[in-house]
Amino acid sequence: MTDRKADPRDPRPLLGEPLSLDLLNTRWAGTPVNDLLAGPDGYGIWLSSAGLAGRCGADDSGLGPLLEARDALAAVVRDLDEHGAPGAVAVAGLNEVLRHGRLRRELGPQGPTEQVEVDRPQWLAAWLAADDLLGLLGQGAHRIKRCAHEACILHFFDTSQNGRRRWCSMAVCGNRAKAARHYEKAKA
């Protein structure tokens, strides 16, 4: 899609996931739950980290559609976690976001081209994230996972060869789980 380099202002613990999961990961564990998209400044940071700053304006008009897309993505992923497939309500929510755009393919002088068209510019980032989830589902819905640490709410796309990745980050959540197991063994 575009070059992605994390914005140094981005405070999230997990960066670099596919666009749809990166959008889901704009909420992360904390009391209260941390939300990068609580305002336009965070929206601008997310656009920058996602490589979309040059394509999408970081104003209030785009934040609403992006939050709608995040809710739709969350519903699909939650249903995948709980039931193995998205339910009718989750499907309808995602399709509602997707109705705001389309991918137009043409043959140009250099060969085939693809152009994203949205009904209003503020829907571009939301549509791209929803479309990205379709691509991930096509690669294997079972590879879209929630971190196994009970206190973590982050999601990742498991690209490991055997599909057994459990943690959003072995350095953070994986080590926390290992330390807890070690503590329990030592206590016993």
pTM as predicted:
0.89
**pLDDT over 70 (residue 178):** no
**pLDDT over 90 (residue 123):** yes
- DSSP code string of 86-154: --HHHHHHHHHHHTTEEEEEEEETTEEEEEEEESSGGGHHHHHHHHHHHHHHHHHGGGEEE-SSTT---
Q: Does residue 58 contact residue 44 with C-beta atoms inside 8 Å?
A: yes
- In eight-state DSSP terms, residue 162 is T
Tens of pLDDT, residues 165-177: 998 987 778 666 5
Residue with tokens 């596919």: 18
**pLDDT over 50 (residue 130):** yes
Nearest CA to 21 among 83, 70, 79, 84? 70
What separation in angstroms does the CA of 59 have from each of 30, 117, 129?
26, 20, 17
- Tell me the β-bridge partners of 116: 103
- Residue extents of the structural domains in the chain: 19-144
Q: Which helix (H) or strand (E) holds 42?
A: helix 40-49
Percentage with pLDDT > 70 across the chain: 90
Q: What is the pLDDT of residue 1?
A: 45
Mean pLDDT of the chain: 91
Tens of pLDDT, residues 12-56: 999 999 999 999 999 999 999 999 999 889 999 999 999 999 999
Residue with the larger pLDDT of the pair 60 and 134: 134
Does CATH number 1.10.3300.10 belong to domain 19-144? Answer: yes
Amino acid at 187: K
Q: What is the pLDDT of residue 88?
A: 98
Q: Does residue 24 contact residue 74 with C-beta atoms inside 8 Å?
A: yes
Q: What is the pLDDT of residue 144?
A: 96
